[in-house]
Chains A and B, each alone.
Chain A
């Protein structure tokens, strides 16, 4: 079974349509297991990563993955020294796993028994162990025995050169990891959210933490061949970070992260199969990052566009409410229709902004133009304005009577908060102030710009 997925071993070549289909539709057995294996690995990484992200341990997974390199090097040297094939995969991965666990204990030990902060401990452990790994690789290159070629594949990852057996191992391990996460979902959630509380209920917090770390080591180690140790952290962290933009619910976040991870795994494995000299790791990272960017912009919960849109809506609503209130107050003092010049004096708005506001108010039917220079509230506009003014004045009266704020200052304070008063709060204000519903009380202070 030495079938190798790499389409061509020399030169940069774009695949032709037939190859493209063959890989995308996974017609070869080998392609199929490799792509499936890496996809399931992506899924498991996304789920485990969700907990790492929430546990604020994103960087720990980076330290773990870097620490696997000396493990691989040492395992290779030992196996070669005892006369075996240094590249026996099981041995290499065992060495990687042991060093991954060692890295975790180093970080925990450094933070617990010295006064070092955890970022310092992480930086030390990561760089020292990775440096050690590079030194080992240097030694190995000078060794005669053992067949050192291909060790660097663990650094960048090359799914395309994986054997079906190896891909099967990935598949099975990833399934086990995903299963453990599902079974311990409740426990991991509790430990990530509130360790102290979890401990008082008798959950073995330390052990659960350790199981989570072992999952991370597991993802890292089985992902080494496919993704490479430098970039495996991206598979753990980027999908959950992207998922957070879409949901406020942990189980959905884990599902989305798993899905994004699987998609990036799939694309990473297929693209690296298609294109010569394209390592899997970078493709997976780039795919995941692309989806992260999309989530950042479009995410329903926390996406930038949604937040900007919400802000724009708020600004518009506030502007409209200012206009309606100004017109209502002028109408109270007898201006009907209202001259635009008089409106100008009510607030510090520019003529352009005022005109724009008026135009928008006309479009939604709150205001009608009487002439070039004067406008009036429509019936609908009047009703809307009455509500706005009412809320404003209720809040002002509340501030004066209950918060001891001078009447001359309440206008500004009320201005800041009235636009966010919800129905529930208004109702409470009405009850507190014992005013009858649906009528605006008179203003508790003289109005600016009123001719009265």
Chain B
């Protein structure tokens, strides 16, 4: 139960610092006492079984779902004052891909916060969107209607939109879901670049096999933080046992079954 990151003192300038956060849906708590500081310039994985509250953790940090208690700060200040510093990649299924916009339009949305109220999109912002599309290797698809893109391409467009935000901290909700191996590698390369540029990236992740390759910091989550810290310390058999309730292999099958029934 005790997490290594649970200390009473939070570092003042951590990219993301969550203190004693509890979140409930319809009065049923889904996250208890979440408490950690994410270190700067790391690729941080959030790993746990289905229903562990991984997406909820990100959404609660971003004020998208209400918190029952707790404080979230971004570089030492409340999120409200630091929105410009945060880039967000929601789950791909969260939007209607039949929406009448093209790939560049979606990426341009990442600039809307900087453009401001009632102002039209200028050439400068469109150029920034194109640059972001180019970084994810999608420049050739800029004019493609988004429903005509494959799942992997849609995911890249979402990533490009977050890149266009030019943030310091990125929160990504399953960016590898429904993506082929080549795209996964391409996305990983971009995340590595972000890390080397000093950005902090939190990624909700499913695939335990790739965890130690991808992330240098890890949050093991199952409605509470089981453990959080450098991957080498945290990614242990014991911890996984605690996180997944000791039936690691069975669980993924069961989870798949449940997912199908929904």
Contacts and interface: CB of A to CB of B under 8 A. Distances in A.
Interface residues of B, number: 30
Given A54-B100, A189-B101, A248-B102, A196 B109 contact: no
Contacts of B236: none
B88 A200 contact: yes
A194 B64 contact: no
Contacts of A200: 62-64, 83, 86, 88
Contacts of A201: 83, 112-113, 165
Interface in A118-145: none
A14 interface: no
A244 B117 contact: no
Interface string A188-213: 01101110111111110000000000
B118 A250 contact: no
Nearest to B109: A190
Contacts of A250: 99-101, 105
Contacts of A198: 112
B204 to A, nearest CB: 14
B248 interface: no
B181 to A, nearest CB: 12
Given A192-B99, A244-B100, A249-B101, A197 B118 contact: no
A451 interface: no
Interface string B51-63: 0000000010011
Interface in B97-115: 99-102, 105-106, 109, 112-113, 115
Interface in A191-246: 192-194, 196-203, 244
A5 interface: no
Given A190-B109, A200-B88, A183 B118 contact: yes
A186 B99 contact: no
- A interface secondary structure, majority: helix
Contact of B94 (A54, A189, A192, A196): A196
B9 interface: no
A187 interface: yes
A193 B118 contact: no
B95 A194 contact: yes
Q: Identify which of B62, B83, B101 gathers the most chain A CB atoms within 10 Å of its CB.
A: B101
User: Range of interface residues on chain A?
Assistant: 20 to 34
B175 interface: no
B90 interface: yes
B208 interface: no
A47 to B, nearest CB: 14
A253 interface: yes
Q: Identify which of B96, B115, B165 gathers the most chain A CB atoms within 10 Å of its CB.
A: B96
Interface string B154-168: 000000010001000
Contacts of A192: 99
A184 interface: yes
B232 interface: no
A248 B98 CA distance: 9
Given A183-B118, A186-B112, A186-B120, A196 B90 contact: yes
A247 interface: yes
Contact of B109 (A197, A244, A249): A197
B189 interface: no
B121 interface: yes
Contacts of A186: 112, 115, 118-121
B145 interface: yes
B83 A194 contact: no
A54 B106 CA distance: 15
A118 to B, nearest CB: 16
B125 to A, nearest CB: 11
A299 to B, nearest CB: 13
Contacts of B121: 186
B246 to A, nearest CB: 34
A196 B118 contact: no
A199 B90 CA distance: 12
Contacts of A247: 100
B153 to A, nearest CB: 13
A239 to B, nearest CB: 14
A200 B167 CA distance: 12
A14 to B, nearest CB: 42
Interface in A35-73: 54, 56
A189 B96 CA distance: 12
Nearest to A53: B100
A136 B72 CA distance: 52
A198 B120 CA distance: 16
A197 B90 contact: yes
Interface of A: 54, 56, 183-184, 186-187, 189-190, 192-194, 196-203, 244, 247-250, 253
12 contacts: A54-B96, A184-B118, A186-B115, A189-B109, A194-B90, A196-B62, A201-B112, A203-B112, A247-B100, A248-B145, A250-B101, A250-B105
Given A56-B96, A197-B88, A199-B63, 18 more contacts: A54-B100, A184-B118, A186-B121, A189-B109, A193-B95, A194-B90, A194-B95, A196-B88, A197-B90, A198-B112, A199-B64, A200-B63, A200-B86, A201-B83, A201-B112, A249-B101, A249-B102, A250-B100
